[in-house]
Structure 1
Amino acid sequence: MSSVVILGSTGSIGTQALDVVRRHERFTVRGLSAGGGNLDLLAHQAAQFNVLTVAIADSARTDELARALKDAGSSAEIVSGPDASTELASLVPDGTVLNGITGSIGLKPTLAALKSGATLALANKESMVAGGSLVKDAMVRPGQIVPVDSEHSAIAQALLGGRHEKGLTSPVLTGHSEVKRLILTASGGPFRGKTRDQLKDVTAEAALKHPTWAMGPVVTINSSTLMNKGLELIEASLLFDIAPGDIVPVVHPQSVIHSMVEFIDGSTLAQASPPDMRLPIALGLTWPERLDGIATPCAWDSPVQWTFEPVDHETFPALRMAQGALAAGPLHPAVLNAANEVAVDAFLKGQIEYLSITDLVSRVLDEFDSPSTITIDTVADTEEWARRRAGEIAA
């Protein structure tokens, strides 16, 4: 049995991960963490999977969680407070920690999981974006990080088509002498084909209607602005040690090709599957082994058409902002992410217009004077400044 800790268990990634665990009797769920917004679901999960420890970030709701656990029939121990997920991330040094937390608050749990020796199934792209080299430096063994974002999982799978003597059983690699470019696919979100003028009066309701994926509100808004793809570009560059100029974003509205690797001989390998996050989640829990029957495969005997389009950078400037942030300095990606989180929150609350999301982020980036070194303290200070400045602009 494999020991697993799931951080962000009540969110989209967490609930789908538990669905994978439920269908395959090879996992023991040792711990679950959540922000505290859905205590009944967390308590139900703890009872169903006989979890030993649950963690919530909102310590004010500890007593309420205790009652919910009792009602659900769970005797799990409770850890609470802002560092609860970080504490839980060290629980299974010989197991797997799935980090499905949304936002850069996932950085400390990511570092804790790696330092403990656990395999990190990384769905929290923001911790890689904000933490940069800190994350890879925290690894205590090769192959410790397994990407769970569908795009990065696809790249890791496609890289297996390279030379095995280069260590390609590891999902996160460096020194790809055979790799020319990574092709990062994007659905295009709900506003694909729209011009900037057509997006002036976009409502939160419209922006939250993603045509392909069912995700949380922050990720869904990020997908609509293509900021999500910008964060994924930064993550791909850092995870796979590929220059940002060698990562090509392309719009693929069917969301069946999850990303591709182009090799120096002109060959391109793609990973294809219907849009179902349970597939990369399952691989994150068992890499490099595959579990049976995780997702419905493509129907190859039926007519199908896949299309690819260039990104409209004028309407969706987030990708170029991400490339610029990555080139500007080690802490600029943290500024990009933190300012964007504030901007998205302000948009969802009706404080700013849709187009102001990326405009605000760009302004904060332009004002940032980056220190030359990245540490956990400089990341925290940088994010604090970016959030404060973004809040001032949004007010």
Structure 2
Amino acid sequence: MRRVVILGSTGSIGTQALDVVRANRERFEVVGLAAGTDAVGLAAQAAEFSVSHTALGADEAEALVREVEADVVLNGITGSVGLGPTLAALEAGRTLALANKESLIVGGELVTGRARAGQLVPVDSEHSALAQALRSGTHQEVRRLVVTASGGPFRGRSRASLANVAPAEALAHPTWDMGLMVTTNSATLVNKGLEVIEAHLLFDIPFEAIEVTVHPQSVVHSMVEFVDGSTIAQASPPDMRLPISLGLDWPRRVAGVGAPIDWTRSHAWTFEPLDDAAFPAVGLAKRVGEAGGTYPAVFNAANEQAVYAFHDRLIGFLDIVDVVQRVVDAHEPDGALTRESLAEAERWARATADQLIAAAPR
């Protein structure tokens, strides 16, 4: 029986994790739940799963992780506020099933330096796929990682055609049902840029050996190319309960958690090169990741401000990544990487992004 703490329990990842637990009560026991602001939803979950340890907000979630005895902590919080709970889970010796990519990307070596071998298990479908495929060879045998991207709602569009898209269009993702921030990041491909940084940090593969390919069917979740020319791909219908279940009990698989591909039917899967001119976020993210330090925190914080501004109709869609790039270019790192320096870099990035947004032509 695996004792599980779920952070972000009322969100998309959290509710799907509870689906997995609900169907496998002999295998998992929920011992802690934390939500952002949905106290009513949290109370209902706690009643259903007989959980006495609950928390609201990231600070209380961090305290919960430190206090509750658990085998695995699933961090499904959205945004860099998940850094504290991530560090707390690692320091407490829990297995960390990480869906909160921002905490790893922003925290960088603060997170990787605290993680023991096998303690950090990815839950993002792409990184779960990479972790599964990487079991087919040694680290020295890897030639490159290939991260797949659906292309979002604007796949195939030129940069010029994206100038006047509306917020509702950016939220019309063709495959995944996600929240406002992640869905918008998928439309700009900022999300894929963040995932490239995440892949580098998780698997210790250099940025020049991490590629992105556009795969609109979202069935092949990522691939690993080995030095002998073979490529190992992980394929399954798009359902986050599969990588979530692996995160909860890695590397053991949970039977029946997802539907397999129906091989009695015809399928057509396509792969296309990424259009860097229309979607420059991936290239910018690689540059940010290579710079390291507080740069990823600045990238992420500026993007969050720009995304909210776009949905408030203060800036256009293309302005999102333009604002991020201008903030990144203006950043001057100062001192060692600490939680305090990260917090200060984020404050600066948000303030600088807000200034650029306020000055943008209406």
TM-score by length of 2: 0.97
Corresponding residue SS for 1:249: strand
Q: How far did residue 373 of structure 1 move?
A: 2.8
- Find the partner of 2:150 among 183, 187, 192: 187
Aligned to 2:276: 313
How far off its partner does 1:304 sit? 0.4
**Does the 8 Å contact 2:77/2:99 carry over to 1?**
yes
Secondary structure in 1 matching 2:273: coil
Q: Does 1:240 align with 2:216?
A: no
2: CA distance, partners of 1:305 / 1:90: 47
The residue aligned with 1:24 is: 24
Secondary structure class of the residue paired with 1:250:
strand
What secondary structure does 2:4 align onto? strand
Name the amino acid aligned to 1:390. A
Match of 1:260 among 206, 218, 223: 223
**Who is 2:105 aligned against?**
129
Q: Distance in 2 between matches of 1:300 and 1:184?
A: 24
Between Structure 1 and Structure 2, how many residues are aligned?
357
Partner of 1:338 in structure 2? 301
Alignment of 1:97-246 (within 5 A): 97-139=73-115, 141-163=116-138, 176-246=139-209
Question: After superposition, what is the alpha-carbon deviation per residue over 1:189-210, rounded to whole angstroms, capped at 9, x for unaligned?
Answer: 0000001111111111110010
**Preserved CA contact (<8 Å) 1:5 1:91:** no
SS in 2 for 1:269: strand
- Contact kept in structure 2, 1:200 and 1:354, CA below 8 Å: yes
In structure 2, the partner of 1:74 is none
Q: Unmatched 5+ residue regions in structure 2?
A: none
CA–CA separation in structure 2 for the residues paired with 1:350 and 1:269: 43
Instruction: Name the CA distance, whole Å, in 2 between partners of 1:93 and 1:253.
Output: 41
Report Cα offsets for 1:81-124 as digits up to 9, x if no partner: x5101111224454100000000000110000000000000000
Distance (whole Å) between structure 1 residues aligned to residue 341 and residue 94 of structure 2: 25
CA contact (8 A) 1:330 1:372 kept: no
Structure 1 letter corresponding to 2:137: G
Q: CA deviation at 1:180?
A: 0.6
Q: Report the equivalent of 1:349.
A: 312
Match among 246, 264, 280 for residue 283 of structure 1: 246
- Residues 1:198 and 1:300: Cα distance change in structure 2 (over 3 Å): same
Residue type matched to 2:122 in 1? P
User: What is the rounded CA distance, in whole Å, between the counterparts of 2:31 and 2:54 in structure 1?
Assistant: 9
Q: Are 2:6 and 1:6 equivalent residues in the alignment?
A: yes
Q: Determine if contact 2:31/2:70 at 8 Å carries over to the other structure.
A: no
Deviation at 1:162, TM superposition (A): 1.1
User: Offset at 1:47?
Assistant: 0.4
Report if aligned partners of 2:108, 2:292 keep a CA contact under 8 Å in 1: no
Return the alpha-carbon distance in structure 1 between the equivalents of residues 9 and 331 of structure 2: 35
**Pairwise CA distance, 1:348:** 1.1
2:48 maps to 48
The 4+ residue runs of structure 1 with deviation greater than 4 A are none
Aligned to 1:34: 35
Partner Cα distance (2:52, 2:96) in 1: 20
Give the drift of 1:239.
0.8
Q: Aligned equivalents of 1:393 and 1:53: distance in 2?
A: 42
Q: Are the aligned partners of 1:250 and 1:310 in contact in 2 as well (CA < 8 Å)?
A: yes
Cα separation, 1, equivalents of 2:145 and 2:69: 32
Contact 1:3 1:92 in 2 (8 A): no
* 186-195 vs 196-205, greater mean Cα deviation: 196-205
- Report Cα offsets for 1:120-161 as digits up to 9, x if no partner: 00000000110001101112x320010000000000000111
Residue 271 of structure 1, CA deviation: 0.2
Q: State the shift of 1:49 in Å.
A: 0.4
Percentage identity across paired residues of the two chains: 58
Between the aligned partners of 2:302 and 2:222, the Cα distance in structure 1 is 27
- Structure 1 range deviating more: 286-295 or 345-354: 345-354
Q: Which of 42-51 and 321-330 deviates more?
A: 321-330
Where do 1:365-384 residues align within 5 Å? 365-371=328-334, 373-384=336-347
Deviation at 1:371, TM superposition (A): 3.0
2:96 is the alignment partner of 1:95: no
Deviations 1:354-379 (A, max 9, x none): 11000000000010012353111111
Partners of 2:83 and 2:212 in 1: CA distance: 25
Contact 1:260 1:268 in 2 (8 A): yes
Give structure 1 stretches of 5+ with no counterpart: 58-81, 164-175
Aligned to 2:349: 386
Q: Could you tell me whether the CA contact under 8 Å between 1:258 and 1:272 is conserved in 2?
A: yes
Q: Within 2, Cα distance between the matches of 1:318 and 1:329?
A: 16
User: Does structure 1 conserve the Cα–Cα contact (< 8 Å) formed by 2:53 and 2:68?
Assistant: no
2:31 partner amino acid: R
**1:75-90 aligned within 5 A:** 82-90=58-66
Task: Please say if residues 335 and 341 of structure 2, whose CA atoms lie closer than 8 Å, have aligned partners that are also in contact.
Answer: no
SS in 1 for 2:205: coil
